[in-house]
Amino acid sequence: MKYRIEQDSMGEIRVPADRLWGAQTQRSLEHFQIGGEVMPWEIVHAFGILKKAAAQANHVLRPDRMTEEKRRAVSAACDEVIDGTLSKEFPLAVYQTGSGTQTNMNANEVIANRGNQIVGAPLLHPNDDVNMSQSSNDTFPTAMHIAAVLSLEDRLLPALDGLIATLLRLEEENRDAVKCGRTHLQDATPITFAQEISGWRFSLERDRQMILSALDPLRELALGGTAVGTGLNAPEGFASLVAEKISALTGKHFITASNKFHALTSKDELVFAHGVLKALAADLMKLANDVRWLASGPRLGLGEIFIPENEPGSSIMPGKVNPTQCEALTMVAVRVMGNDVTVGMAASQGNFELNVFMPVCIDSFLQSVRLLADGMRSFNKHCAAGIRANREKMRENLNRSLMLVTALNPYIGYENAARVAKLAHAEGLSLREACLRLGFLSAEEFDRVFHPEKMV
């Protein structure tokens, strides 16, 4: 491998000759060989956006320093960061400096060197030009918020909406399917399958509302606070203008944070937003567990619904098929719940003017978004969309349920109804037979008041 010599404030270091990064990226690459997790692509993408926006704002406010030629060079290089062309130039580990400084410098070095390639001259300096009016301490939290908003709006919400739409269709198809309800995993009073589905659907719609409410605080950007929140070395008006430029580049609404001291050291917005992701994970866990319980069998379980049979379920038991999409979605849920602990702990480490757990915080957050979005899409396509009610089994289970006796409460009272249920269970009788034997109602009276389909 061929190398070139790069120099920074700490001296000289060898960098692979074919790479666009510089000395600080190389030092980080050598000093932080920890795990296999690299900085998420969403953060790299966000850095491309914010560096382009910063160049545009600096050109307006400092045209003598950010000349039109420099702005064009920075913008062209940033476009290649944004579209992924330069993705291999961002190799740094998540477990690096807690401020994300090395990733900020990775972006500065790559954009400067690529911009210089484009113009064919040493026009751009990583710090003086690409990082103008900025600090790692305000760029990294800005990238975190940009990445969070984009991933929630463009990746998570469409997947959630798709699953909600499927549940709405299933509701409409199953309004007349009456089945046994269940509480405490025990038989309960009747319910329609549509009503049961509506509980799943409304949970997801409520999660969607909470996601939207969590987005607004994430739209506030730290950029303009520079090192400690005072805005040192940033021109007046930079913070507001750069937020406008980021909004224009992304098509999303962003504003400058009203208190930069808070923006640099606190990650409460991400904790709040990830709390909603945990709530969604909890609801998806419940939904997936309900589906696999209802589909259990095929002969010895509840068997009240059919789900798609996607692949063989056993290497030893021929013909076995398992609820694998449910299992995958529930594994996603527990990972998200674990990530919520990481995000909360990371956010608690804001000491004085800076949080120094930002890379692991945003890596965990973005992983949760990716897993939830992909998990919902997979579950929707390969399971939920193909759910069919086993109406015959539903009727069979309903007619065998002892809790239909609840319909008799107004006519014979709770205590007598309990005696009917216990006798029926002990001797394998129907509720009708037990009620007649105990003499609480005549056959005509029982038939007149006992209508399970009206109990929903």
What's the token pair of residue 210? 């909470």
Cis peptide before 298 (omega within 30 of 0): yes
- Residue 336 and residue 211: Cα distance in Å, rounded? 15
* Burial 74-111, CB ≥16 within 10 A → b, else e: bbbbbebbbeeebeebbebbbebbbbbbbbbbbbbbbb
Dihedral (CA of 135, 139, 142, 144) sign: negative
- Concerning whether 314 is annotated as a catalytic residue, the answer is yes
| Whether residue 184 lies in the annotated active site | yes
CA distance 429 to 431: 6
The residue type of 142 is T
Residue of 87, 213, 314, 348 marked active site: 314
Which residues are bridge partners to 374 per DSSP? none
Instruction: Characterize 342-375 residue by residue with b for buried, 16 or more Cβ atoms within 10 angstroms of its Cβ, and e for exposed.
Output: bbbebbebbeeebbbbbbbbbbbbbbbbbbbbbb
> Given the DSSP bridges, would you call strands 255-256 and 350-351 parallel, antiparallel or unpaired?
unpaired
Query: What letter would DSSP give residue 128?
Result: I
Sign of CA dihedral 23, 26, 27, 28: positive
Please provide the size of the chain in residues.
Answer: 456
Phi, psi (rounded to 5 degrees) for 257: -65, 140
Is 226:232 a contact under the CB 8 Å cutoff?
Answer: yes
Q: Using an 8 Å Cβ cutoff, are 295 and 309 in contact?
A: no
Count Cβ atoms within 10 A of the Cβ of residue 27 and give its class: 0-12 exposed, 13-18 middle, 19 or more buried.
middle
| Residue located via tokens 């190389």 | 26
Question: What is each CA distance from 342 to 265, 273, 362, 368, in whole angstroms?
Answer: 17, 13, 10, 11
Catalytic sites, residue numbers: 184, 314
